[in-house]
Amino acid sequence: MGTNSYVTPAPPMPGKAALMQEPTFLTTLQRITEREDGYLGPGIENEYSKMDPANCDGTLVVLRGNTAAFYLYDAVSCKLLRQIKAFDDCDYAEPEPRWDPSNAKVFYYPCNMKLMSYDCGTNTSKTVRDFRSDFPDGAYITTKAEGDASLDRRYWCFMVEDSKNELVSVMCYDRIQDRVLGRKDTGFPDAINWVGMSMSGDYCIVGYEDKAIYTQVFSRDFAHTVTLPDGSAGHGDAALTWDGRDVYVYQNVRTDFISMADMGTGRETRLLRIPFDVNPDIGLHVSGNCNGTRGWALVSTYGAMEPPPGKKHAWMDEQLLMLELTAKPRVWRIAHTQSYTSDDYSGEKNYYAEAFASINTGGTRIYWGSNWRRYSPDYSDAYRVILPDKWPAAMPGGAAPEVR
């Protein structure tokens, strides 16, 4: 707990499927992949911080090779089962697999102008909805690989783009009613970087490129807009507070705090100051997936092994930590990632060494990519942390902020 500084350990790389105890924070780590699995390219890891790579019962994991091929792994044995060839029919954008909340064999994915479902048991796909009649000028639907559906997979927010990658519309789709609930074609303040849904499904989230240094939230019919605070354009993710409110947790690039904003009101709460004064080379990602342990979000940090000249390592460098979603939050330090984007601040950067860790929906497993201090370009392997059962209740102060 807390923000004390520790010497970063340098344990040997664990073998595939081997369990090891994290030397500083004493959590249980496991290496999932190795090059001998046969995946293509130099490395593999979870797709991104904003989506859960594991299915609802924790038996299967989808991982993304660093050459953009996707693979299905047995989450128990850590065995590579197969490359997912169903995505070969998708001509545009990333396939963005998103697991069904109750069927452990099924995930959904956008493919050109269709939302598809894939059955891992039968290795077959079927069409959920073809949006070509709704958007005849569209070539593909996408979240730009940074969005997710609502927790129940009922509501989906997609960008529709044409064959020249120009925006046609942003739309919200109801999978249960099988209809488009709303669309917005124009009037955005900037080029759109990504879109997604809040966890409840009440809000569509739109993140912008560079002119708009904020994020916006829309009702499902796009009739109502909430502009989140200035600076909310930093890396972030949707999450739920302990009492079920939709919030967006993000790096505020104006204030240098990790903050959260209520999606209904736009009100911001500062959570944790980022120590850029100690080390300006701190990058971070947020994962808010953990509905099973709501009221917390995962933060993963990254940077070079050697800080800029005249600076030193900060307490949060290259770590996984759980951050409580309340004023004056508790901080639970999970693990050092053993992953560095380069050996020194001026070195060639390895994007896949940013870790971009993701916590599963149940709040029991954390997945991340690590180069384990090896600086080969684009190299990473996938790792996970196995968290203790019912860990929020075991925290000092209990599970919810009102009982502290």
Nearest partner of 48 among 262, 237, 230, 282, judged by Cα:
237
Distance CA 247, CA 366 (A): 21
Euclidean distance between CA atoms 204 and 216, whole angstroms: 8
Q: Secondary structure of 252-277 in the HEC alphabet?
A: ECCCCEEEEEECCCCCEEEEEECCCC
How much is the pLDDT for 44? Answer: 98
Q: Tell me what pLDDT residue 402 has.
A: 43
201 secondary structure, DSSP code: S
Q: Which residues of the chain have pLDDT under 50?
A: 402-404
The token pair at 173 is: 């789709």
Write down the pLDDT at residue 400: 63
The structural domains of the chain, with segments of one domain joined by +, span: 29-81+228-398, 84-227
Output helix, strand, coil percentages for the chain, rounded to the nearest 5: 5, 40, 55
What CATH number labels 84-227? Answer: 2.130.10.10
| Tens of pLDDT, residues 194-245 | 999 999 999 999 999 999 999 999 999 999 999 999 999 999 999 999 999 9
Q: Which amino acid makes up residue 75? A: A
Q: What pLDDT does 401 receive? A: 53
For residues 368 and 45, the answer to whether their CB atoms sit within 8 Å is yes
Q: How far is CA 218 from CA 195, 330, 393, in A?
A: 11, 30, 34
**What pTM did the predictor assign?**
0.96
pLDDT value at residue 223: 98
Say if CB 271 and CB 259 are below 8 A apart: yes
Which tens digit of pLDDT belongs to each residue from 269-328?
999 999 999 999 999 999 999 999 999 999 999 999 999 999 999 999 999 999 999 999
Contact 47, 73 (CB under 8 A): no
Q: What pLDDT, on the 0 to 100 scale, is given for residue 366?
A: 98
